[in-house]
Amino acid sequence: MRLFLRLWPVLSLLVLAACDSNQVFEKNADFDNFTWTVQEKPAFEFEIQDTTQRYNISFNVRNASMYGYYNLYVKHQLFGPDGKPLSALLHQMILMDPQSGEPRGKGTGDIYDHQFLALRNQQFRQPGTYKIVLEQYMRQDQLPGIMAVGVRVAKAETK
């Protein structure tokens, strides 16, 4: 049953990704024991070829209802193909309603998936492999209940 609970969100994301022609990259990193430790800094590498296109970068978060906070602070660092840092920002993601405690996101049982737009209309100046590193920025070394985080890169829709 536990394996099914872990695979169900992945399978549903694969089905959704197959329907999205704007998606360039999406990958998630699972945490052992459903706990994100401060030492774990998942890195995601993605390829950009079209430098005329603008992209939206979103962060995926999967949490269990046992997560003890209504929000999650995550710092990102984005590096260019040459390894030089391009940006570093701190993001606050609201996982549960601060007043009612009701979970946000899409859920199955006590597991909830969220997607937060982190960088809108990002332009990449050179083709190549970019890397984004995520770091939990809470005041706790271990965050029980955070099961996975990930990155999604998609072409921004032009108006």
pLDDT digits (tens, 9 = 90+) for 49-79: 999 999 999 999 999 999 999 999 999 999 9
Residues 66, 59 contacting (CB under 8 angstroms): no
pTM for this predicted structure: 0.85
Other CB atoms within 10 A of residue 82 CB: 8
pLDDT higher at 109 or 118? 118
pLDDT higher at 18 or 107? 107
Q: How far is CA 73 from CA 24, 91, 137, 138, 147, in A?
A: 25, 6, 5, 6, 15
Q: Is pLDDT of 158 > 60?
A: yes
Confidence (pLDDT) at 134: 98
pLDDT digits (tens, 9 = 90+) for 80-108: 999 999 999 999 999 998 888 888 899 87
